[in-house]
């Protein structure tokens, strides 16, 4: 017997000359939450479509709770509870009706379905909207409530494997915390959970293992602690820029920079821990000169490790390679400033 509820081994999917997934391999065990991380276009949703039988891989093996999902996609699909990336079609239904129907379709008796809907309404703090009907064109219910109702529909009835594709989209900050707690409880109750997301910082709080995709390939995997192990000696210096200002770090940084990330009006620098004092002194001088609104210094995070693995590699000397991450951030790595 094995406790694997999902095995992905050498899965490759191409669309013409574009390779969306390249020899991807990982596993999800019962009771484990595995995060599948990657920027937009990294191949996450294509992989999910193959796991649930909507696409057939060009090569490789997928097994769901021991069932060959490539040879028997229908049988494997019945073992998966899925929240897809898009909103579920709720128009004409109340969240309560939708959740109860989803639970009944997956085999729960009527009373158990009602109890599951009520429990999830409380867990996710959507009880006030449970009997409010969803209307066309997004009327009747907010996008966040619709998203949480879709999550409740997916998890109302137990399944060996739960696949959640960007479950926090449109969800406000307070209810995102409730949703992450609910995801963690799914694993603690024995389900295997595959959590597909690009929200690195929030996912870190609930996952046991991480699989990082970049341009269709697995570039890193392991526990959050293992992925950040190489950055223990680094500190994150975050600079907040005034509106319309230029990046003051372009003229050079007086301390070694292990990694640099630009995101909107933020510049994130990972610097050696033994350079904390001169880094703070330099950042303070930038603030005194009005070149930055403020700064913070703290330990390097999983987000830094993630960006380091999905940024361009192979830099040397004083040069730095750059590329865009999810259309909003640019990463640079360099051997020295």
Each residue's pLDDT tens digit, 241-256: 999 888 888 878 999 9
Q: Give CA–CA dist 307/295, Å, rounded.
A: 20
User: What is the spatial order of strands in the sheet that 209-214 belongs to?
Assistant: 80-83, 161-165, 192-197, 33-37, 209-214, 217-222
Q: Which ranges of the chain have pLDDT less than 50? A: 1, 312-337
33-51 pLDDT, tens digit each: 999 998 888 899 999 999 9
Instruction: Name the residue among 196, 193, 254 with its Cα closest to residue 38.
Output: 196
C-alpha–C-alpha distance, residues 215 and 218, integer Å: 9
Q: What is the pLDDT of residue 317?
A: 28
Q: What is the pLDDT of residue 200?
A: 79
Q: Pick left, alpha or beta for residue 189 (phi over 0 → left; psi -120 to 50 → alpha; otherwise beta).
A: alpha
Q: Report which DSSP code applies to 323.
A: E
**Cα separation of the two ends of the chain:** 53
The whole-number pLDDT of residue 232 equals: 59
Give the separation between CA 231 and CA 226, rounded to whole angstroms. Answer: 10
Structure tokens at 258: 């292990």
The answer to whether 117 touches 99, Cβ cutoff 8 Å, is yes
* Tens digit of each residue's pLDDT (9 = 90 or more) over 194-226: 999 877 777 788 999 999 998 899 998 988 878
Q: Is-contact 95 152, C-beta < 8 A? A: yes
Q: What pLDDT is stored for residue 332 in this prediction?
A: 41
* Confidence (pTM): 0.78
Decide: 129 and 187 in contact? Cβ < 8 Å: no
- d(CA 300, CA 282) in angstroms, rounded, equals 19
Residues pairing with 197 in the sheet: 37
Per DSSP, the residues of 112-169 read HHHHHHHHHHHHHT-GGGTTSPP-GGG-SS-HHHHHHHHHHHHHSS--SEEEEESTTT
Q: What is the CA radius of gyration of the chain?
A: 22
pLDDT of 231: 60
Q: Residue written as tokens 């821990």? A: 273
In order, the DSSP letters of 205-257 are TT-SEEEEEETTEEEEEE-HHHHTGGGTTEEEEEEEPPTT---GGGG--SS--
- Report d(CA 184, CA 79) in Å as an integer: 19
48's tokens = 């999910």
Strands 33-37 and 209-214: parallel
User: Crossing angle for the helix pair 143-155 and 173-188, nearest 10 degrees?
Assistant: 10
- Find out whether 218 and 211 touch, Cβ atoms under 8 Å: yes
User: How many Cβ atoms sit within 10 Å of the Cβ of residue 193?
Assistant: 27
Instruction: Please give the distance of CA 237 from its chain centroid, rounded to a whole number.
Output: 24
pLDDT at 306: 76
């Amino acid at each position: 017997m094995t406790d694997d509820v999902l095995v992905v081994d050498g899965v490759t999917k191409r669309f013409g000359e574009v390779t969306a997934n390249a020899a991807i391999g990982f596993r999800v065990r019962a009771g484990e939450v595995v995060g599948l991380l990657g920027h937009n276009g990294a191949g996450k949703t294509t992989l999910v479509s193959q796991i649930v039988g909507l696409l057939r891989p060009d090569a490789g093996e997928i097994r769901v709770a021991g069932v060959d999902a490539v040879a028997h996609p229908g049988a494997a699909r019945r073992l998966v509870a899925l929240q897809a990336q898009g909103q579920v079609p709720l128009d004409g239904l109340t969240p309560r009706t939708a959740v109860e129907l989803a639970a009944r379709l997956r085999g729960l008796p009527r009373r158990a379905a009602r109890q599951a809907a009520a429990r999830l309404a409380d867990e996710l703090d959507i009880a006030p909207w449970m009997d409010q009907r969803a209307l066309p064109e997004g009327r009747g219910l907010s996008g966040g409530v619709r998203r949480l109702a879709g999550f409740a529909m997916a998890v109302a009835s137990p399944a060996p494997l739960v696949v959640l594709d960007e479950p926090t989209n449109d969800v406000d900050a307070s209810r995102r915390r409730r949703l992450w707690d609910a995801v963690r409880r799914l694993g603690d109750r024995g389900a295997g959970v595959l959590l597909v997301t690009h929200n690195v910082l929030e996912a870190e709080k609930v996952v046991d293992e991480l699989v990082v995709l970049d341009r269709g390939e697995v570039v890193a995997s392991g526990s959050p602690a293992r992925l950040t192990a190489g950055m223990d000696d680094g500190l994150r210096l975050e600079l907040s820029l005034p509106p319309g200002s230029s990046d003051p770090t372009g003229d050079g940084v007086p301390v070694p920079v292990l990694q640099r990330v630009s995101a909107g009006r933020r510049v994130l620098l990972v610097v050696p821990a033994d350079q904390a004092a001169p880094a703070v002194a330099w950042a303070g001088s930038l603030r005194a000169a009005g070149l930055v609104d403020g700064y913070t210094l703290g330990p390097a995070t999983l987000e830094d490790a993630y960006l380091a693995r999905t940024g361009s590699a192979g830099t040397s000397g004083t040069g730095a390679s750059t590329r865009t991450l999810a259309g909003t951030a640019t990463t640079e790595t360099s051997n020295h400033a």
